[in-house]
A and B are shown apart, each in its own frame.
Chain A
Amino acid sequence: MDMASKNSSKSKLIGVVGVGSFGTAIANMLAEKNEVMVYARKQEVVDEINSSHTASGRVLNPSIRATFSPEELCDACDVLFFMIPSAAFVEVTQTFAPFLHPYHLVIHGTKGLALNLQKGETLETVTKLHRSQLMTMSEVILQETVAVRVGCLAGPNISKELSLGQPAATVIASKYNEVILEGQRLLRSERFQVYGNSDIIGVELSGVLKNIIAIAAGALAGLGLGENAKGLLISRGMVEMAHLSKALGGSVQSVMGLAGVGDLVTTCNSVDSRNFTVGYRLAKGESLDEIMQTMEEVAEGVNTIRIIDAFIKTVGIRAPITENLHRVLFEDLSIEEALQFLMKYPFSVDVDFV
C-alpha cells in the first residue's frame, strides 16, 4: 500500500482481527460496503488470503487484503473488529496495544471472560474470585490499550448462516453512541439488522453466560430428553443468566434482548455448536478430558463455567445450573445425578428478577 492512501483519512479501511469462522463471516459482510483489511497471525494464512482469497478453506471476498503486521492494520484503519477466541484475546490485544491510539474504535465479537490476576496466580491458586478479578473482553481492551471507544457485537449469529446470506440480526453495544452508529453504518444490510444497546457489560455477559446453558442443552439432548425439558432449561437458564448478569454489573433488560434470549434459543437448538457438543458427549458418558482431546477449538462455555463457579462461591449467590455443570465437568458428578439434583432444587418462584 502506498503512503498517500495510508495518510489520507478518506481512504481508511475497516480492520478485522482474526479470520476464524465468525471473523471471516463479518469480514465478508463488511466488505460488501467497505474496503476491508484482515489480520492473521500466520504468514501462510496471510499469503493464502492475498493469493487465493480463502482463509483455512473459508472463502473471502476478493477485495479483502490481509496483513500479519498489527502496525500496518492499525495505521490503515480507524475502526477495528476484534474477532478472536477468548483464550487468545488478552495476548492479541497486548500485541495491538502499542499501535492503537485514542481515535481508534474497537468492536469485538468474543463471548468469553478473562482473568485479571496477580503474576503467578491462577484460578487454582486463588481462594476467592471477586468481580475485579474477572474481565469481560471490553474491559480487557480498556485495561490493555488506550482505546476508549469500545463496543461489542453479540447475538444469534451462526457463521454458517451468515455466510449463506440468510436473514439475521445482531446487537452492537457500547457506552458511546458514536460506536453504535458506526457499527450500524458498516454492517447493516437488507439481510442484516443491527440493534444498539448502551449496556455493554450486560450484552457481553449475556453472550458469555448463554454458553453455560448451551452445554446444558447439549446434555439434555444427549440424555435423549425432549422439548419440554428444553423449554424448562431455556426458561430457568434465562433466570440464572439474569441473576448472574446483575451480580456482575449488567442490567436485566439486556438478558431479555437479542444477545440474551435471542442467542440462548439459537444456541440451545444448534447441534453443531461446540458448547452443545460438549454437553451432548458428556451425557453420552465421555469425560471432559476425552472430549477436549478430540476438539480442535475450546468450547468457551467450559472456561466460563469454571470462572463463574469461582465467582458465585466468593460472593455467596446460587446459580444451580452452573454449579451442577461444574460438578459434572470437574468433580465427577454424573450427568443423571446433576439432573436429579436440579429437578429437586426448590425453584418455587417462576420469575423473580423483574
Chain B
Amino acid sequence: MEEKYIKHRYAPILPKKDEWPVVKLARERKEFIKKVAELAEVRILNQTGKNPEILKEELETTLYREKLRIKQNPWDVDPDDEGQFWGEVKNSLLQINADSSLTKTKRLEAYQEVLKRITSRYAEEIASNFKATHYKFTRSVVTYGFSRLLNAARVKGFKSIFSNQYTLQDKIQITGQTDQIRDLATKGTIVMVPTHFSNLDSILIGWIISVLGMPPFIYGAGLNLFNISIFAYFMNALGAYKVDRRKKNLMYLETLKTYSKEAIQFGCHSLFFPGGTRSRSGMIESKLKLGLLSTAIEAQRANYQQGITDISGKIFIVPVTINYHFVLEAPGLIQDHLSMTGQERYYRENDEFSTSYKISKFLVKFFTKGSDISVSIGRAMDVMGNYVDEDGNSHDKWDRLIDTRDYFVSEGKVTVDQQREEEYTHMLGKRIVEEFHKINRVFSSHLVAFVAFELIKSKNNKLDIFDLIRLPLEDIFLSYEEFKSSCQRVLNRIFELKSEGKIDVAPHLTRSMDEIITHGLDNVGMYHAKRPLIRDKKGNIVTEDMSLLYFYHNRLHGYGLEKLF
C-alpha cells in the first residue's frame, strides 16, 4: 500500500505579492533597519545598566574581537571598509577615554554614540535583500531546471528533455499537516523549525514553502554560504538574512536577536534551524542550541504587551523533518563530530559545499538517479509547545482551551522577565525535539544502517565508538540471514512505536523484508565514493566506511532501539 503524496501545487494563500509580509518588509527596509538598530542599542544599554564603564568595556571587547577576526579569519563576503570602520571606532574610543573633562552623563552619551554606529552597521549587514522579481525567477529556475533534469534521466528518447512526465514532486514528497500550516499562515505568524542535516535544506525548504502556496519565509543563513555566489543569489532571493557565526560579541548577538524578533512581530513568517547548525552526528539533535528560538517567544510576549491578543498576533511553531537517504556532506560532518567528541581540539568549519562545481555535480546525480526525499510537516504549536486548533487557540494535554498570554502574566499583567523566557525557550526546545521524533520518517536506508551498525557493535562490545571505527574493514561482515532477522526485529518495534504515535515510516517499509533490504542497500549514502553498506559477492553485508555507517545509523538514535541488541 503506497500512500498518496501531495502532488498538486497549492493555490497561493496571498495571490498578490504586494501583500506578502516579506515584500512589505523589503519596501520598508530602510526604516526597519533603523528601528532594529535603535532597539538593539536600547537593549545593550539596559544590559550594561547604563554604566559608562561597563559599556566602555563591552565596546572595547567588541573592537578587539572584530580586529582579530578581520586579521585571522577574513571571508570573501566581508565588506572592504571593515578595517576602516573599526579603525574609526578605535579612534573614537581613544578620544572619549582621553577626555577627562567629560561628566559621567556626557561620557555615557559619547559611548552610546559609538554603540549606535556599531548596531546600525550590524543591522544593515544582517538585513535581507529580498527582491520579489529575483524570488520569482529563482523559483522557476529551481522548478523548471530540476524537472528537466529529472525527465532527461527517467524518460527515454530524444524528446525526453521536454517531457513533463515527472515533476519535482515525484522526488520530494511532502506529508503531514500541510493544510493547517497554510491556513494558519493567513491568520497569524508561522515560525518553521526544521531538522538540519544538509546545506541543501534551506533551498529545499524554500521550494516546499512555495509549493504549499505560502509567501516566502525569512530565515537566518550562515554568512559563509554567501561566499559562494550561486548560493548567495538563491539565499537573497529566498528572503535570507545573514548570520555571521564568527561574530560572537554581545552587540552583534543582540542586534541579530532584535532583527529576528522585530521581523516576526512585523508578521514575517520565519524559518529557524533550531539545531543552530547542521547535525554533525546525523542524529536528530536531542538538545537544541535554541539560538534564535528565544526571539519567537519574545515576539509573542511583545505582541501581548501591545494588547494584540487575537490570532493576528499569535505565533505558531511548526516542526518539520527532512528525511534523506543520502547527505552529501556526511563524510565531513561525521569526521567533525568524531573529532569534537573524541578530543577537545580547535575546530574549523569545513565545507563540502565549497564550490559551485561540487554542488552542480551533486544536483545532477540527485536528479538523474533515484534517491527520494520526504518532508514531514508537524502539527502547529504555540510558543509554549501546546497544540493549536484551526482558529489558532491553544489546547492543553486534556484538550482544554488555554490562553497563551497567561504564561507571561504576573499579578494580572503581561510582564517582561528574561530569566523566565529563557526557561520557556528550553521548554519549547524540548517540545520541538519530541515532535521531531514523532514526525521523523524512517526510510529503508536508515533501517539497514542502524541494524548493521548495532550488530557490528554488539559483536565487538568491548570497543568504544572510536575503536569500532578503526576496525579493519575486511574483518567486518554480517551474514545475510542474521542481518535480515535483526532488521525484522527492529522494524517490528518501529511499527509498534508508530502505532503509539512516536515515529512515522515511509510507505516503502511495508514491502517484504528482502525488498526493503535491497531498497535500503541501494539507497543508503548512494553517492559516496565509499559506500556505507553493500552486499558482497558471497552475499554478506559489508561496509566500506564505518564512520559513514555510523552517521546514517544515528538517524534512528533516541528511540531506545539499541536495547534490541
Q: Which of the 9-residue segments A37-45, A170-178, A203-211, A231-239 touches chain B? A: A170-178
Binds B, one of A56-64, A97-105, A314-322: A97-105
When the two chains form the complex, which single residue of A101, A175, A178 contacts B410, counting CB atoms closer than 8 Å? A178
Contact of A103 among B396, B409, B417, B424 (CB under 8 A): B409
Please report which residues of chain B, range 416-453, place their CB below 8 angstroms from some CB of chain A when the two chains form the complex: 417, 419-420, 423-424, 427
What separation, in Å, do the CA atoms of A101 and B407 have in the docked complex? 8
Residues of A within 8 A of B412 (CB): 9, 12, 78
CB within 8 Å of B: which of A61-88? 78
Chain B contacts of A98 at CB under 8 A? 398, 400
Contact B398 A101 (CB under 8 A): no
Q: Report how far A47 CA is from B428 CA in the complex, Å.
A: 44
**Which residues in B have their C-beta under 8 angstroms from that of A103?**
406-407, 409-410
Contact check, A101 vs B419: say whether CB atoms are below 8 A apart: no
CB-CB < 8 A to B427: which residues of A?
148
Say how far A26's CB is from chain B's closest CB, in angstroms.
21
B114 in contact (CB, < 8 A): no
A326 is an interface residue with CB less than 8 A from chain B: no
Pick from B384, B406, B423: contact of A175, CB below 8 A. Answer: B423
Within 8 A of B (CB), among A160-184: 175-178
Q: Please tell me if B506 contacts chain A, counting CB pairs below 8 Å.
A: no
Would A146 and B396 be within 8 Å (CB), given that A102-B402, A176-B419, A176-B423 are in contact? yes
- Write the nearest CB–CB distance from A3 to chain B, whole angstroms: 16
Known contacts A102-B384, A175-B423, A178-B419; is-contact A148 B411 (Cβ 8 Å): no
Are A178 and B420 closer than 8 Å at their CB atoms? yes
Query: Residue B514 at the A interface, CB < 8 A?
Result: no
B409 vs chain A, min Cβ distance (A): 4
Report yes or no: A12 in contact with B411, Cβ–Cβ below 8 A: yes
Chain A nearest Cβ from B391, distance in angstroms: 19
Q: B232: shortest Cβ distance to chain A, in Å?
A: 42
Chain A residue numbers with a CB within 8 Å of B413 are 9
**What is the CA–CA distance of A175 and B427 in the complex, to the nearest angstrom?**
11
- Which of A12, A97, A102, A177 has a CB less than 8 Å from the CB of B419? A177
Q: Are A146 and B409 in contact (CB under 8 A)?
A: no
Contact yes or no, A178 B417, CB < 8 A: yes
Would you call A149 an interface residue if the criterion is a C-beta within 8 Å of the partner chain's C-beta atoms?
A: yes
Complex Cα distance, B409 from A101, in Å, reads 10
Q: How far is the CA of A95 from the CA of B304 in the complex (A)?
A: 30
- Cross-interface CB contact of B411 among A9, A149, A176, cutoff 8 Å: A9
CB-based contact B420/A102 at 8 Å: no
| B-facing residues in A190-233 (Cβ within 8 Å) | none
Q: Given A9-B411, A12-B411, A78-B411, decide whether A101 and B406 contact each other with a Cβ distance below 8 A.
A: yes
Name the residue on A nearest B396 (C-beta): A146
A101 and B411 within 8 A (CB): no
Q: Is B352 an interface residue (CB 8 A)?
A: no
Nearest neighbor of A101 in chain B, beta-carbon distance: B406
Set of chain A residues within 8 Å of B482, measured between Cβ atoms: none
Given known contacts A9-B411, A78-B411, is B403 in contact with A101 (CB within 8 Å)?
Answer: yes
Give A78 to B415 CA distance when docked, in angstroms: 15
In the bound assembly, the distance between CA atoms of A78 and B409 in angstroms comes to: 10
> Are A102 and B403 touching (Cβ within 8 A)?
yes
- List, in ascending order, chain B residues with CB within 8 A of A102's CB: 384, 402-404, 406-407, 409
Using CB atoms, name the residue of chain B closest to A79: B411
A175 to B413 CA separation, bound complex (whole angstroms): 21
In chain B, positions 352-369 with a C-beta closer than 8 Å to chain A are: none
- Expressed in whole angstroms, the Cα–Cα distance for A102 and B427 within the complex equals 14
- In the complex, which residue of chain A has the Cβ closest to the Cβ of B404? A102
Q: How far is the CA of A178 from the CA of B413 in the complex (A)?
A: 14
By a CB distance below 8 angstroms, the chain B residues around A177 are 417, 419-420
In chain A, residues 132-159, which have Cβ atoms closer than 8 Å to a Cβ of chain B?
146, 148-149
Contact A149 B420 (CB under 8 A): yes
Q: Given A103-B409, A175-B423, A176-B423, check contact A146 B402 (CB 8 Å).
A: yes
Against B, the Cβ 8 Å flags (1 = close, 0 = not) of A7-33 are 001001000000000000000000000
Complex CA gap A148/B423 in Å reads 10
Interface string of B479-511 (1 = CB under 8 A from A): 000000000000000000000000000000000
Q: Does the CB pair A101–B420 fall under 8 Å?
A: no
Residues of A within 8 A of B419 (CB): 176-178
Nearest-neighbour CB distance to chain B for A322, whole angstroms, equals 26
Give the CA-CA distance A146 to B402 in the complex, in Å: 9
| Distance to closest chain A CB from B560 (angstroms) | 10
Q: Enumerate chain A residues within 8 angstroms of B396, measured Cβ to Cβ.
A: 146
* Distance A302 CA – B406 CA, assembled complex (angstroms): 39
Which chain A residues border B384 with CB–CB below 8 Å?
102, 148
| A window 96-143: CB within 8 A of B | 97-98, 101-103
A166 to chain B, nearest CB (A): 32
Complexed CA–CA distance, A101 and B386 (Å): 13
Set of chain B residues within 8 Å of A148, measured between Cβ atoms: 384, 407, 423-424, 427
Residues of B within 8 A of A178 (CB): 410, 417, 419-420
Given the interface pairs A103-B407, A103-B409, A178-B410, the reply to whether A97 lies near B420 with Cβ below 8 Å is: no
**A97 contacts B407, C-beta separation under 8 Å:** no
Chain A residues, Cβ within 8 Å of B417: 176-178
Q: How far is it, in angstroms, between the C-alpha of A101 and the C-alpha of B403 when the chains are bound? A: 8
What A residues does B407 contact at CB under 8 A?
102-103, 148
Complex contacts, B406 vs chain A, CB 8 Å = 101-103
B411 touches A97 (CB 8 A): no
For the complex formed, measure the closest distance between the CB of A325 and the CB atoms of chain B, giving whole angstroms: 31
Nearest chain-A residue to B418 (Cβ)? A177
A177 to B423, CA, bound (A): 10
A98 to B407, CA, bound (A): 16
Measured in the bound complex, the distance between the Cα atoms of B335 and A121 in whole Å is: 45
Give min CB distance, A38 to chain B, whole Å: 21
A176 to B424, CA, bound (A): 10
Complex Cα distance A176/B423, Å? 7
Contact B402 A101 (CB under 8 A): yes
**Distance to closest chain B CB from A284 (angstroms):** 46
- Bound CA span A146–B409, Å: 14
How distant is B384 from chain A, measured CB to nearest CB, in Å? 7
Residues of chain A within 8 A (CB-CB) of B403 are 101-102
With CB as the reference atom, state the residue of chain B lying closest to A146: B396
CB proximity of A150 to chain B, nearest CB, Å: 11
Question: What are 28 A-B contacts with C-beta separation under 8 Å?
Answer: A9-B411, A9-B412, A9-B413, A12-B411, A12-B412, A78-B410, A98-B400, A101-B402, A102-B402, A102-B403, A102-B404, A102-B406, A102-B407, A102-B409, A103-B406, A103-B407, A103-B409, A103-B410, A146-B400, A146-B402, A148-B384, A148-B423, A148-B427, A176-B417, A176-B423, A178-B417, A178-B419, A178-B420
Interface residues of A (CB under 8 A from B): 9, 12, 78, 97-98, 101-103, 146, 148-149, 175-178
Other A-B contacts than A148-B407, A175-B423, 6 sampled, CB-CB below 8 A, are A101-B403, A101-B406, A148-B423, A176-B420, A177-B420, A178-B410
Identify the B interface with A (CB < 8 A).
384, 396, 398, 400, 402-404, 406-407, 409-413, 417, 419-420, 423-424, 427
9 tightest A-B CB contacts, nearest first: A9-B412, A102-B406, A103-B406, A103-B409, A102-B407, A177-B419, A146-B396, A101-B406, A175-B423
